Amino acid sequence: MTHILRLAPSILSADFARLGEEVRAIEAAGADLVHFDVMDNHYVPNLTIGPLVCEAIRPHVKIGIDVHLMVEPVDALIPLFAKAGANLITFHPEASRHVDRTLQLIRDHGCKAGLALNPATPLDWMTHVMERLDIVLLMSVNPGFGGQSFIPATLAKLREARRRIQVHTLAGGQPIWLEVDGGVKTGNIGEIVAAGADTCVAGSAVFGNPDADGGYRSVMDALRRAARTA
Ligand code: DX5
Ligand code: ZN
């Protein structure tokens, strides 16, 4: 694949008691983004972190914070996350009454905007909002938990999403990143990138391995190597 690969470790699998240290460590190890999973025990059956935690980690890193909202409703949290230092905000379209409006709201607050699509959510949600998208996130597991297995049907979906993005950019449209989230490991990142992903979230693959020789650096280098050799 010719496009560059961005790695976005998900702090869902980090040590929450040492979050500042953890995000500094992944930045030093070459992470491109901090992936920040927000769960509300309503849209998904789990509860995680909100704008206060985003604000707390913001001064610890220079890289962008990639906020993945798994919440319903969506809109009220957007100004709060923008103020807390988010750079990129994705949400699940089923969780917003007015998807076009929510995308605009994110950009109006100075962040890059995107849709997060569950395994069974069709790509068609992209169709009428292409101009408003900076990123599309394809879930390769059902949202709610780290450490699940990659759903193979995501590969065909990635290829089709890449095709649609290419048609859009070749016609003069803005670039749109294609992110994959869930179950990304050294054993499958090659085929994921070959299918068209340019941004890969990795939670348990990175943070589940704190004692590896060379720490997070060696884990992330291994992911990049595996991505290249596919
Ligand atoms: C799941 C989250 C993912 C998850 C990824 O709802 O959106 O970001 O933390 O973790 P792994 O890489 O362990 O599947
Ligand atoms: Zn996520």
- Which domains are seen in the chain, by residue range? 6-229 (3.20.20.70)
pLDDT of residue 153: 98
Q: Is residue 147 lining ligand 1, measured as CB closer than 6 Å?
A: yes
128-155: string of b/e by CB count within 10 Å (b at 16+)?
A: ebbebbbbbbbbbbebbbbeeebbeebb
Q: Which atom of ligand 1 is nearest to the CA of 208?
A: 13
Taking the centre of ligand 2 as the mean of its atom positions, its distance from the CA of residue 13, in whole angstroms, is 11
Q: Is residue 92 lining ligand 1, measured as CB closer than 6 Å?
A: no
Catalytic residues: 37, 181
Taking the centre of ligand 2 as the mean of its atom positions, its distance from the CA of residue 171, in whole angstroms, is 30
Q: Are 109 and 80 in contact (CB under 8 A)?
A: no
Please tell me the number of the ligand nearest to residue 148's CA.
1
pLDDT of residue 164: 98
Q: Which atom of ligand 1 is nearest to the CA of 35?
A: 8
Q: Is residue 14 lining ligand 1, measured as CB closer than 6 Å?
A: no
pLDDT of residue 143: 98
Report pTM.
0.97
Nearest CA to ligand 1 atom 9: 146
Taking the centre of ligand 1 as the mean of its atom positions, its distance from the CA of residue 49, in whole angstroms, is 14
What distance in Å separates the CA atoms of residue 46 and residue 168, rounded to the nearest whole number?
36
3-state secondary structure string, the chain? CCCCCEEEEEHHHCCHHHHHHHHHHHHHCCCCEEEEEEEECCCCCCECCCHHHHHHHHHHCCCEEEEEEECCCCCCHHHHHHHCCCCEEEECHHHCCCHHHHHHHHHHCCCEEEEEECCCCCHHHHHHHHHHCCEEEEECCCCCCCCCCCCCCHHHHHHHHHHHHHHHHHCCCCCCEEEEECCCCCCCHHHHHHCCCCEEEECHHHHCCCCCCCHHHHHHHHHHHHHHCC
Q: Is residue 9 lining ligand 1, measured as CB closer than 6 Å?
A: no
Counting every residue, how long is the chain? 230
pLDDT of residue 177: 98
Torsion, CA 196, CA 85, CA 34, CA 159, rounded to 10: -10
pLDDT of residue 3: 58
What string of pLDDT tens digits covers the 230 residues of the chain? 455 899 999 999 999 999 999 999 999 999 999 999 999 999 999 999 999 999 999 999 999 999 999 999 999 999 999 999 999 999 999 999 999 999 999 999 999 999 999 999 999 999 999 999 999 999 999 999 999 999 999 999 999 999 999 999 999 999 999 999 999 999 999 999 999 999 999 999 999 977 777 789 999 999 999 999 87
Please tell me the number of the ligand nearest to residue 43's CA.
1
Q: Which atom of ligand 1 is nearest to the CA of 150?
A: 14
Please tell me the number of the ligand nearest to residue 209's CA.
1
Q: Are 6 and 228 in contact (CB under 8 A)?
A: no
pLDDT of residue 213: 74
What distance in Å separates the CA atoms of residue 184 and residue 202, rounded to the nearest whole number?
6
What distance in Å separates the CA atoms of residue 187 and residue 192, rounded to the nearest whole number?
10
